[in-house]
Amino acid sequence: MKIMPKLATGIATTVALMSAGTAYSDTQQESKGFIEDSKLSLLNRNFYFNRDFRDADPDDQSYREEWAHGIMAFYESGFTQGAVGFGLDAYGFLGLKLDSGRGRSGTGLLPIDEDDRARDDYGHVGGALKLRVASTVLKYGEMQTSAPVFATADSRLLPETATGVLITSGDIPGAVIEAGHFTAYNYRNSTNGDDDLLVETGEADQQGDSISFVGGQYDFTDALTGSLYASNFEDTWRQYYANLNYTMVLGEDQALNLDANFYRTRDAGDAYFGEIDNRTYSLAAEYSLGAHSFTFAYQKAKGDTPFDYVGGDSIFLANAVSISDFVGANETSYQLRYDINLAAYGVPGLKMSARYIRGNNIDGTHADASGAYAGLQGVDGKHWERGFDVRYTVQSGPAKDLSLRLRQATHRGNDDQAEGDVDEVRFIVEYPLDLI
């Protein structure tokens, strides 16, 4: 098994050599020490979640409802002084069941035992060793990732993590370059750090044991940024990603933001998931006027298989929302969204949004008959989703930064798309504390 594809190896080597040759940069030179630059934070998260599957078969579970509390501690050390700095990042997660029951479990907040009951508690402890030369950091261990081709998710009670190696460099002015190789996953309701890599959609008898990627972001100007990434999911697929984001100031309290995202995925190696040739992109325009923002987004998936990804949040597309990602085979989708910041009306910390997405033209009947997507979608799939989001963050006082968030989403579709008729409600309370 190759540890990294040739492209990732080459970039990682280049970054390391470039950093080694940089004269004792400001970043590492200004290190105060392992303990002196340490940070310790605590996040309490209280999460209520229900999902109502309106079109479930009589023998299937049609309703899921759970309430849980999560406690997350994050420790980030400084770096030792010297040309090469050493450090440690560590975390400890604990999830506690507040309400669940047989027949209501399965929201993803809590792990499930053999008798379909949610466990009373669960947890996970992990961390990563790190070293820094100039402005380049190498990490090895368990960590959260945020690359558009491999991003762990934080959409339930406890965050997901992955095990591997990550190199991040800021030595080139205006750019951030990163390369990674990961071999294991910790799912959102799991206590195991050695789970298989999480694949969002496809199901096959075998999948890749590792994913490698390389890429980065460059700020062309204060208004224009771009990103470019490549990844290899072992013996499954190769995936490429590109982004351009531009903000145009139109006047006082007015601006237009344009965002374009593009993914290209093709099967590779032994092609465990079958034949794949998918191009998926989204274009979004957001016009902001004072406290108001109006967004229109267009998204297109071209190919006989859905767009798929490794890692719970590895999808940087405009129409990837609460229930559906709108990335079915050959799917076209449109979104309208409205946001308002009530600070302009005397309620600082209160924000609301509403969105509506419609997708159609799904045709999955030409997927590889022996692949991971055969039979997943029909010939004329169509669906829609609407969502509402209200969030309030306390601005001052003893409860400063305490946030309350209410999210509601409704999804409806025909039999030729894969997600069905679902209603969901999430209520999330978070209270972060910086201890050191």
Q: What b/e readout covers 377-390, taking b as 16+ CB neighbours within 10 angstroms?
A: bbeebbbbbbbebb
Is the separation of the CB atoms in 280 and 205 below 8 Å? no
Distances in Å between the Cα of 158 and the Cα atoms of 104, 107, 189, 261, 310 are 19, 13, 7, 28, 18
Cα 118 from Cα 108, distance rounded (Å): 10
Determine whether 293 is an active site residue.
Answer: no
Q: One of 171, 235, 259, 308 is an active-site residue; which one?
A: 235
Determine whether 235 is an active site residue.
Answer: yes
Pairing of strands 403-413, 121-133: unpaired
Which DSSP helix (H) or strand (E) runs through 8? helix 6-20
Distances in Å between the Cα of 116 and the Cα atoms of 101, 105, 113, 426 are 9, 7, 5, 22
Which DSSP helix (H) or strand (E) runs through 333? strand 332-341
DSSP single-letter state for residue 199 = B
Which DSSP helix (H) or strand (E) runs through 286? strand 277-289
Cα 366 from Cα 377, distance rounded (Å): 10
Determine whether 57 is an active site residue.
Answer: no
Q: Which residues are catalytic?
A: 181, 235, 314
